[in-house]
Amino acid sequence: MEVQYKFERISDNVYAFIQPNGDWFLSNTGVIIGKNYAIVVDSLTNEKMTKQFISEIRKVTDKPIKYLINTHEHEDHLWTNHLFPNAITICHKNCREKVVEGMKRGSNPYEKLFSTIDFSGYKYTPQEVVIDDEMRIFIDDDEVRIAYVGYAHTISDIYVYVPNKKVVFTGDLLFSPPCTPFALMGYIQGYINTLENLANLNAEVYVPGHGEVSYDRKTLYESRDYLIFVRDEARKLMKNIDDPIRAAYEVNLGKYEEWISKERIIGNLARAYSELKGNPPASKLENIDKILIEMVKYREKKSGIK
């Protein structure tokens, strides 16, 4: 299957590689180009995708790729880091820990669950540099700010902000609507707070982890409002239904019914239930494998998509 994408110039010497429609494992990446080298933000799910991305980079610059920044731990943002062999890889320390776990496991945890996805050439490659809170790289006169947000989409989310260009690469802190946000491995309230904080940056362009580039803050607020909706629905449903999986089928998604990957309501409710029961933020859910399986069943039942 051919890779569907567009390579979008979003500012001077800044480009985004966008994969429509932003569904599972169809993530975005980007590149920042300087006089002497380039910085890449994230790699992709399989080798075909990333080779296409690299091919597009080479159409606009012949400079070496010096740094590769991974925005978080999810595999569709780092599984092809090895295709940038000369780049120094950077991430949050929690992200690298998850990558090492995956390398030791030695298998693809999603292969059976998403049987139609092409995972060819995937590899866990531990990063070389980790940050705790913030790091800055200077490429020519431009500061590239890498900032950890705390627990949000996952426990390892960072964003990449280029103040002079007013550009932010958000990773999966932003699923640009109609892509549905996903908080199963994170912290819903932290996610809400982070989206508001991103909106407060002096930025004009937000490159999401999935979905179309946003040239205003509307998508940030729409994603935030979805998560508030999930939290409020969980609070109501918990009074009568103790199982978030069963509760998900009682939710009237309203306008979110038309969003992509709406089955994430199951994972998002499971996380909201955990938080509302007083469990620590981003604490491990014992039945996470079952939740993922039930999400696939919901997807097939509600949308007819496998």
Nearest one of 135, 148, 209 to 179, comparing CA atoms? 209
Q: What's the pLDDT score for residue 2?
A: 77
pLDDT tens, N- to C-terminus, the chain (306 residues): 678 999 999 999 999 999 999 999 999 999 999 999 999 999 999 999 999 999 999 999 999 999 999 999 999 999 999 999 999 999 999 999 999 999 999 999 999 999 999 999 999 999 999 999 999 999 999 999 999 999 999 999 999 999 999 999 999 999 999 999 999 999 999 999 999 999 999 999 999 999 999 999 999 999 999 999 999 999 999 999 999 999 999 999 999 999 999 999 999 999 999 999 999 999 999 899 999 999 999 999 987 665
Q: Determine the pLDDT at residue 302.
A: 82
226 neighbors 188 (Cβ within 8 angstroms): no
CA 36 to chain centre: 29
What pLDDT is attached to residue 252? 97
Residue with token string 């996470």 = 288
For the chain, how many residues are written? 306
pLDDT of the residue at 303: 73
The Cα 8–Cα 256 span in angstroms is: 27
| pTM to 2 decimal places | 0.97
For residue 1, the model assigns a pLDDT of: 61
Sheet containing 6-11, strands listed edge to edge, beginning at the edge strand earlier in sequence: 6-11, 14-18, 29-33, 38-41, 65-69, 88-92, 129-131
